[in-house]
Amino acid sequence: MNKPVISRAEQIFYPGWLMVSQLRSGQPVEDGKALYRRACQLVTQAREELAEAGFSQENSDTMLYAFCALLDESVLNREKNRRWLVHLAAGPAAGSFFWYAQCR
């Protein structure tokens, strides 16, 4: 039986994809600020790991931008627990690609 091969990029983004999956499936968010900090941590961690893995800056930026777009949409399209979004909406980079702009 063949073992599945997971690319280094998939390994790097797995924690972020897990967060997105949880958000999209409606997992309650008790602490919006903690979610914000965790999302920034995931973006920063992915950026560092992509560089360590030898991805070019251009390719890294493309992957990070796509991840942040997915994260933004997952947060902004939630019906439940939207009150914690207020502090995000007040920021200068509110709206599309919030984490990409804030976590650089």
Q: Tens of pLDDT along the chain (104 residues)?
A: 555 557 999 999 999 999 999 988 988 888 877 888 888 899 999 999 999 999 999 999 999 989 988 888 887 777 665 555 555 555 444 444 455 555 65
Measured CA distances, 16 to 2, 8, 63, 83 (Å): 27, 14, 12, 22
> What pTM, to 2 d.p., does this model score?
0.77
Give yes or no for a contact between 102 and 40, defined as CB atoms under 8 angstroms apart.
yes
- For position 47, what pLDDT does the model report? 92
Distance CA 51, CA 34 (A): 26
pLDDT value for 32: 78
